[in-house]
Amino acid sequence: MGYRSVLSVTTPATTFDLTTLLRVKAALDINDATMQQDQWLRTAITSCSLAVARECNRVFPVQSYRETFYGGTCYAGYYGVGYDKALQLAQWPIVEITSLAQDSAALTANTDFIVDAASGQLIRLTGGVPLWWSAANITVEYDAGYATIPGDLQDIVHGLIQGQWQVFGSERDPLLRGEDIPGVASYQYTTLANAAGASFAATAKDAINPYRMPAFA
């Protein structure tokens, strides 16, 4: 039987945007000296960043977490990195493990466990040899996420924004998804977040796969 965990955020990120206004303007080749489109672009950045996070079921900027695992023997690693005795944290990459307690007893990094920061896995040690995690509960306090958002993630957001910008730059409202003139006029609108999410099928499914949070029961 594997562990199941409860995750809480102890220090949230200051922003969840995955790119910046300057980078978006450069990527889309927008030369707007009047800055008239800045508010729309800022909204698009936030909405499209949220769409990426939802698609991956995870948070990308650095945050501080407390995660408590309850019951069981070990939850095997998602990625099969060579250990079948790894404890998989819910958020990664790991920046720092600030504390780890097994049944209230503090454990020491590199003596009692080692950290695979890139995959977010913790490997229990005894005498330098990996072994199963076995405890009633394990509590880990840690920082995880990207201090600098990877370029390919930023490019995915830029691509989503570009799809909306191409419509925004035309005479058509980019959030207008339907109109019915006969009586004169009935309009249906979507949101930037929904529009960005809908465009994943055509633009970002494959590129974003390495960043997905695997789902488990």
The per-residue pLDDT for 210 is: 86
Strand (E) or helix (H) holding 183:
none
For residues 4 and 193, the model is more confident at: 4
Local confidence band at 175 (pLDDT 50, 70, 90 cut-offs): very low
Mean pLDDT of the chain: 80
The per-residue pLDDT for 2 is: 65
Local confidence band at 30 (pLDDT 50, 70, 90 cut-offs): confident
Interacting residues of 117 by C-beta distance below 8 A, sequence separation 6+: 92, 93, 94, 95
Q: Is the pLDDT of residue 58 over 60?
A: yes
Q: Which of 128, 8, 130 is nearest to 74 (CA)?
A: 130
Q: What is the pLDDT of residues 120-162, one digit of tens each?
A: 999 999 898 898 888 889 999 999 999 999 999 999 999 888 8
Local confidence band at 207 (pLDDT 50, 70, 90 cut-offs): confident
Q: Is the pLDDT of residue 191 over 80?
A: no
Domain ranges of the chain: 4-60+148-211, 63-144
Q: Is the pLDDT of residue 18 over 90?
A: yes
Q: What is the pLDDT of residues 60-106, one digit of tens each?
A: 999 999 999 987 544 444 333 333 478 999 999 999 999 999 999 99
The most confident of 30-39, 82-91, 98-107, 180-189, by mean pLDDT: 98-107
How large is the angle between the packed helices 151-168 and 38-56, nearest 10 degrees? Answer: 130
Give the separation between CA 112 and CA 106, rounded to whole angstroms: 9
The per-residue pLDDT for 217 is: 41
Give the separation between CA 144 and CA 147, rounded to whole angstroms: 9
Mean pLDDT of 12-22: 97
For residues 172 and 106, the model is more confident at: 106
